[in-house]
Amino acid sequence: MARRDTGNYTTYWQSRLIPGLSLLHADFSHHDYAPHTHDAFVIAVTESGSAEIANRDVTAKIDASTLFVSNPEERQSARMGDSVRWRYRAFYLTQRAICDIARRFSVHDMPYFMENMIGDADLIARFRRLHRALASDDDDLLADELAIEAFSRLVGRYGSGGGRPEPAPRDLAVAKRLLALMRERYAENLSLDDLARTADLTSFQVIGLFKRTVGLTPHAYLLHIRMNAACRHLKRGHSLAESAQAAGFCDQAAMNKHFKRSYGITPLQFAQATRDGPTGGGPRAISANTTRRQPL
């Protein structure tokens, strides 16, 4: 896998073995992730270098001695700071992948993880080996065994049967109304006034409500919804321009910018991985250089 010293290199693909599991191998010389959320569980292993990650209300430096675990819908961002390189491997588990893996070791669902930065050398080594096995895509039995061992140990050692902090009931009820509105009208040019009228709040109160309940500003969460919508359209085979318009982005360039800032990959990489599908094997045909001088 070639890498240019002046740029960033990412490889993104979908697992053939575990439906609903996407994988990323990133090699960054300069990249900051803007605040964003994922609908999926995110698990990341750093191979070299370091970064500072903010997840929920915790900010910490991660390196090769740290396993990063993020629950779905949790706010996160990252910056490399003074690190000249950050090379890592990541797993993104949608609900389909979660159900598949949970079924394999006889639990009903993945638990909530109260700890996001885990210093467990054994677990780090297991997830690193699993990622490499899924990338090579040449030994299903080995990869299957590694997946069961890694995820069962993660759940057994660090999974919580409960304890997820919940917002106040009234905040949660109002937030649900606003999120429903945004999911229904994400392609429109929504304003804070639109949200404020729906919630019978001031614009300032709406921003505070989102920060308390979602962990993002209304605009940042709307971008999250739009990127998910773009992903759905790309999966259906729509062009980049069509997907950008349908998702509510002003143009294809805007969609591309937000993808790279939040996901570290381009919409084209995502479309290629989806088009090739899980039968396309590992990441061989889905690499793309994402060189840029400054983080977008």
pLDDT in tens, the chain (296 residues): 333 435 788 999 999 888 899 999 999 998 889 888 888 899 999 999 999 999 887 899 999 999 999 998 888 999 998 899 999 999 999 988 888 877 766 666 677 888 899 999 999 999 999 999 999 887 787 888 888 889 888 988 888 754 455 566 788 899 999 999 999 999 998 888 889 899 998 888 888 898 888 888 888 899 999 999 999 999 999 999 999 999 999 899 999 999 988 888 999 999 998 875 554 445 543 344 443 322 22
For 46, the token pair is: 């750093």
- The alpha carbons of the chain give a radius of gyration, in whole angstroms, of 19
Helix, strand, or coil here: 3? coil
Dihedral sign from CA coordinates of 234, 264, 134, 19: negative
d(CA 49, CA 138): 29
- Is-above-0.85 flag for pTM? no
Q: How many domains does the chain have?
A: 1
Domain membership of residue 134 as a residue range: 9-164
Residue 185 is assigned to a structural domain of this protein: no
Whether 290 is in a domain gets the answer no
Report the pLDDT value the prediction gives residue 122, as an integer from 0 to 100.
95
pLDDT for the residue numbered 284: 42
Flag whether 43 is in a domain: yes
Those residues with Cβ within 8 angstroms of residue 125's Cβ, 6 or more apart along the chain or in another chain: none
Q: Give the SS3 label for residue 34.
A: strand
List helix spans (H) across 105-251: 121-136, 140-158, 169-184, 192-199, 203-213, 218-235, 240-247
Contact 90, 24 (CB under 8 A): yes
Residue type at 235?
Answer: K
Is 175 part of a structural domain of the chain?
A: no
Residue 285, in any domain of the structure = no
CA 201 to chain centre: 31
pLDDT of 280 reads 45
Residue 83 lies in a domain: yes
Per-residue CA distances from 95 to 99, 216, 246, 247 (Å): 6, 22, 24, 22
Residue 166, pLDDT score: 56
CA-based nearest residue to 48, from 92, 2, 22, 80: 80
CA separation (Å) from 46 to 127, 235, 275, 279?
Answer: 10, 29, 28, 27
Q: What is the CATH number of the domain that holds 67?
A: 2.60.120.10
Residue 253 within any structural domain of the chain = no
pLDDT (0 to 100) of residue 278: 53
What pLDDT is recorded for position 240? 95
Q: d(Cα 274, Cα 86) in Å, to the nearest integer?
A: 26
Pairing of the two strands 287-289 and 76-79: unpaired
Could you tell me if residue 187 is inside a domain? no
